[in-house]
Structure 1
């Protein structure tokens, strides 16, 4: 894939920043850490990494990035959120964390979904599984997905497509969704590598194809 002219911003406040950057570079694109509003200039798309969603919310507000990021998303730029990034992209959270002032955590929004935080359980309930995932290259080969304190999608709005799901207690729960230029996964494709190998790259490849308007 010729993606050498693609600059992908990775929000670099907390979470799996290095792992996402490594996956982007392995796809032939250029990863750009984003900590300030001006660093969004010149990037073709943005990744909101996995991490801790409440901490990321606080840091986004502390760094004065919330409005700039919302404008970037509303402007139609491609954005991919993994795990905590999915929560940040969601319009609604069923169980938002409440801070010491009684204020619920905020999202950036843009993706018409309702998510449940830590839906699969706490850290000790983290697990791995293989998923059928549509829209990927070599889509017949399953994606090995790592779920760490992961959310799931409880409600999809109009125009939101489920790309992958898991069956829990007899119900299908969407764990990868797309709406236009917005892509989100409950799981962490960026952490499936071993050593210097970036592991599963097809989700990042899909995102870069979205940036190039090829998907």
Structure 2
């Protein structure tokens, strides 16, 4: 029916706008959850229209439409209820084929796949901002590129470039800082000592020993890097 399907179309549009534009929680739901519920109601309206249309043709068409609608809605509800488990399976599958993707296992281990160049890239957050690091046990501290320092809360005017560091291009000066919070996967450490290099010195941030030495353990197993926090279950 046109009226019911129009309502469904409006609900689909609301779901799309919510998913793309909303940032704050809606009625206690995250934007993703709210968008999913709106989309589900939109689909229900379309299915209801199909059922009504089926009965206007013949009762057998209506019964068939009900059976199809119930099966589809049941599958969607079950899938939504199991979204956490499905996301974990998806993460594991992607982790097997995607260079540098960081995955958190069921017991809290943070796992990253080796890149084709042999390095490990880990996605993390510095002072609440998304950041990527190269795993580097040869770096005595975490090292941040100057190009991202301001975004991470370190103003260039406040930095004292007085610490000499060795780089691939020779010796350079870096500024000591303290990161309020550094998160990689499920592991968060606070008050982490780090260095900020001058612009152009590094091509990537380094996850060095000032963070790694706080972990319960870390190891390279085959093509996987595994980080374990001190509270990680083994």
Same fold per TM (> 0.5)?
no
What TM-score results when the alignment is normalised by the length of structure 2? 0.23
Which of the two has greater helix per residue?
Answer: 2
Greater relative CO, 1 or 2 (CA 8 Å, sep 6+): 1
What TM-score results when the alignment is normalised by the length of structure 1? 0.24
